[in-house]
Amino acid sequence: MTMKVSVTHVHAGVPVLGQERTLESGSISFTTPALDLDALVTDRGVPGPAFDLPVGEVISFLEATGEALRADKAGYLQAALESLSQISALSRRMLDNCYERLSAAFARPSLEFQLSQQLPIGALDGWLPVRPPGLPTSFARAFPARIVQILAGNTPNVAATSITRSALTKGVHLLKLPSNDPLTAPAILRTMADLALGHPVVASFSAAYWRGGDRAVEDVLFRAQYFDKLIAWGGESAIRNALSYAAPGFEIMTFDPKVSISLIGREAFASSSILKDVAALGATDVSVINQDACASAVFQFVEGSIDEVDAYCELLAAELAVDRPWSDGLASPTPEDLRESIRGLMGFEELYRVFGDFDGHGLVIRSSDPVEFHPTGKVVNVVQVNELSDALNWVTMATQTVGMYPTQRKAALRDRLASRGAQRIVELGGAWNLPPGLSHDGFLPLQHMVRWVNDQG
């Protein structure tokens, strides 16, 4: 049965409704307004609407947007949630939790913290004096940029994060809506338009849906003639497509696929109650967005004997079947290609042991070396190690989050983890907690979302 979903476009802050186009994606039929490419780009000769808006006014408007999202008087969020629940891989319970947190991205303390951590004070609002040794005073400004963004739709919170970051940097932004969530971003932008249509922040945003990789669209839009930068979220194919547009004057910034892990010390086996608590923390990190987030652990390195590690695996498999705020106890069954890879291991009982089943409650593979395939769909590979430092051999530049237990062992390993390429080191159970303002995928996003311009003396 085909599900029909109506998608709203936004042209320079003005919501556009219509059903002129129909695009199929699997069992979903998206109807959208006509794709007006001219309306999605702006004249470089005209400053962006918010280029000279004081950042304090931007924050005040975003704070008001957060209040409007909580009230949802026009029902945009509720309507988006109802439609999204029909097409999303996430359960309605998880979507409810995500939508309840959307307004938190617009809270003033969060916005002010991001700016304080990532940009010099005043750099967005004007030219700051710079005094090179022995040279005349120069000036520098974090100038607003024109950016097209390929959003991810694995969680609705990506839309809120992208909109707040974009508004804070005062640029002109075109949001390419994702097929797994083309609804949340327009609902937020429509709320902003109702709040103050024509406001400089509102007028800085456009949004549209087209099939990702459509060269007839992207060859026109993805060029320095219209935009300074392309921000791409997504899997390998989406990122490779985005990188193919790299050109002089057109910068590519990616939130690309990452692998996250856990390091669990032998302290976890101090008692049966401690081990059960650690297994719950480990399951929390494995199952973030049903393991569809880059921060979700897919490999866990556990320091102990085979018997101890098997005891942990048994508890972990049981904990994966528990509902949590950002994961379902019962998710989609294990994909067939992954099942075949796992069945191939079952014939080597001296090397591998499997806990759980393929039914979506979660599955754990214990081994002495990481498996050669990529676990997904609430499947985790627990690797028995004699020392936590043994796990460093498998840390690379693609390693995003490392969850550690106990916390006090982080200090001894964090420099070596960072040297290998790890980007975040957190307490076990804290993979999902990424406060806005800290680095994301190894860099500070706001610094990359502006153009640094010098006026030299």
Domain-ending residue, one of 242, 257, 272? 257
Closest CA to 24 of 209, 167, 153: 209
- Specify the pLDDT at position 149: 97
Give the count of beta carbons closer than 10 Å to the beta carbon of residue 384: 21
Structure tokens at 146: 């024109």
Pair (188, 238) in one structural domain: yes
Pair (94, 152) in one structural domain: yes
356 in a structural domain: yes
Q: How far separated are the first and last CA of the chain, in Å rounded? A: 67
Amino acid at 146: R
184 in a structural domain: yes
Per DSSP, the three-state class of 85 is helix
How many residues are given for the chain? 457
Q: What is the DSSP letter of 452?
A: E
Per DSSP, the three-state class of 117 is helix
What DSSP element (H or E) covers 190?
helix 184-196
Domain-ending residue, one of 226, 241, 257? 257
Helices and strands: H and E segment counts in the chain: 14, 20
- Specify the pLDDT at position 265: 98
Per DSSP, the three-state class of 140 is strand
Per DSSP, the three-state class of 350 is coil
Round to whole Å and give the CA distance between 40 and 453: 25
Pair (347, 391) in one structural domain: yes
CATH number of the domain to which 281 belongs: 3.40.309.10
pLDDT along the chain (457 residues), means of 10: 88 96 85 95 93 97 98 97 93 95 96 95 93 92 96 94 97 96 97 97 98 94 95 88 92 90 98 98 96 94 97 98 94 91 84 93 96 92 96 94 97 96 96 88 92 92
Nearest 5 degrees, angle CA 431-CA 235-CA 332? Answer: 70
The strand pair at 379-385 and 399-405 is best described as unpaired
Pair (36, 169) in one structural domain: yes
Pair (241, 269) in one structural domain: no
457 in a structural domain: no
Evaluate whether 106 touches 164 at the Cβ level (below 8 Å): yes
What DSSP element (H or E) covers 381?
strand 379-385
Evaluate whether 89 touches 290 at the Cβ level (below 8 Å): yes
433 in a structural domain: no
Pair (352, 408) in one structural domain: yes
Pair (234, 350) in one structural domain: no
Domain-ending residue, one of 257, 291, 317? 257
- Specify the pLDDT at position 1: 62
Round to whole Å and give the CA distance between 261 and 420: 13
Per DSSP, the three-state class of 324 is strand
410 in a structural domain: yes
Pair (117, 178) in one structural domain: yes
Phi-psi region of 116 (alpha: psi -120 to 50; beta: other; left: phi over 0): alpha
Pair (249, 277) in one structural domain: no
CATH number of the domain to which 8 belongs: 3.40.605.10
Domain containing residue 421: 259-427
435 in a structural domain: no
Pair (282, 404) in one structural domain: yes
Pair (220, 343) in one structural domain: no
406 in a structural domain: yes
Round to whole Å and give the CA distance between 7 and 208: 8
Round to whole Å and give the CA distance between 380 and 367: 11
150 in a structural domain: yes
Tally of domains within the chain: 2
Evaluate whether 148 touches 230 at the Cβ level (below 8 Å): yes
Pair (124, 44) in one structural domain: yes
